[in-house]
């Protein structure tokens, strides 16, 4: 009886593991010269302070009923990327970091249904910055 229960539990785990794909990506932004960083990010995100000198973005993507290849394609195409428009100035005082693709169309399955997709973002900011109440503006602390 134990063998049957164990086998059934393993089969259920195997089915669940194949139904969901997950990957975490990382991006960094140099903010050495910045006094102000404006965030224009779609969706929910969490801000954490850290001792690093760069801004680090960690995005965890979970998708159900899609293959590894589909998830890799979405990541390669930049679906979850943030970007900045301050690259023209080598030492910008104001930086805007924003979601590259604000509209994410649902990922469709072969049968026409939609895949469940969850992307969570954590932003690690240098501890030399203060966060505004609405989490959209980071200001460098006075030395």
Indicate the pLDDT class of residue 4, thresholds 50, 70 and 90: low
Buried b (16+ CB within 10 A) or exposed e, 38-62: bbebeeebeeeeeeeeebbbbbebe
Instruction: Give the chain's domain count.
Output: 1
The reply to whether 31 falls in a domain is yes
Average pLDDT, the chain: 86
Range of the domain at 80: 21-140
Residue 50 included in any domain? yes
Structure confidence by residue, pLDDT tens digits, 37-78: 999 998 889 999 999 999 999 999 999 999 899 999 999 999
- Whole-structure pTM value: 0.80
Q: Which residue has the tokens 């970091």?
A: 97
The percentage of the chain sitting over the pLDDT mark of 70, rounded to a whole number, equals 83
Longest Cα separation, the chain:
70
Has residue 2 been placed in a domain? Answer: no
Examine residue 8 and state whether it is found in any structural domain, yes or no: no
Whether 4 maps to a domain, the answer reads no
């Amino acid at each position: 009886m134990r063998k049957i229960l164990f086998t059934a539990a393993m089969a259920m785990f195997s089915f669940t593991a194949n139904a969901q794909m997950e990957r975490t990506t990382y991006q960094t932004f140099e903010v050495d010269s910045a006094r102000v960083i404006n965030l224009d990010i779609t969706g929910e995100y969490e801000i954490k302070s850290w001792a690093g000198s760069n801004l680090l973005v960690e995005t965890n993507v979970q998708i159900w009923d899609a293959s590894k290849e589909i998830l890799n394609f979405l990541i390669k195409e930049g679906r979850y990327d943030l970007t900045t428009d301050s690259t023209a100035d080598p030492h910008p005082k104001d930086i805007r970091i924003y979601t590259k693709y604000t509209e994410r169309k649902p990922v469709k399955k072969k049968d026409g249904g939609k895949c469940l997709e969850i992307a969570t973002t954590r932003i690690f900011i240098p501890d030399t910055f203060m966060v505004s109440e609405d989490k959209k503006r980071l200001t460098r602390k006075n030395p």
